[in-house]
């Protein structure tokens, strides 16, 4: 194949969208998959503890 077969001229790179670059990175997806549930469960626990009524004697 020659460089004429490509859609872009030599030296010019196509802009890759942010979400495509994010989805192409398995380590970033792993990080997001671990961090997001952790943060949500921590926030859920804090909200549950904050809503416990104060005990009265």
- Residue 37 covered by a domain: yes
Please give the Cα distance from 39 to 29 (Å, whole number).
15
10 located within any domain:
no
Q: Quote the pLDDT of residue 8.
A: 58
Distance CA 45, CA 39 (A): 10
Q: Does residue 34 fall inside a structural domain? A: yes
DSSP state letter for 6? S
Domain assignment of residue 8, yes or no = no
**Residue-range definition of the domain harbouring residue 31:** 18-51
The answer, yes or no, to whether residue 31 has pLDDT greater than 90, is: yes
Please indicate, yes or no, if residue 35 is contained in any of the structural domains.
yes
CA distance 35 to 21: 19
pLDDT of residue 57: 84
Mean pLDDT over 2-15 rounds to 67
Hey, what are 49's tokens?
Answer: 């503890």
Say if 33 falls within a structural domain: yes
Structural domain includes residue 26: yes
């Amino acid at each position: 194949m020659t460089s004429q077969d490509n859609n872009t001229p030599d030296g010019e790179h196509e802009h890759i969208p942010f979400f495509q670059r994010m989805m192409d990175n398995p380590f970033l997806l792993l990080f997001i998959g671990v961090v997001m549930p952790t943060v949500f469960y921590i926030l859920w626990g804090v909200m549950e503890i904050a809503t416990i009524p104060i005990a009265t004697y």
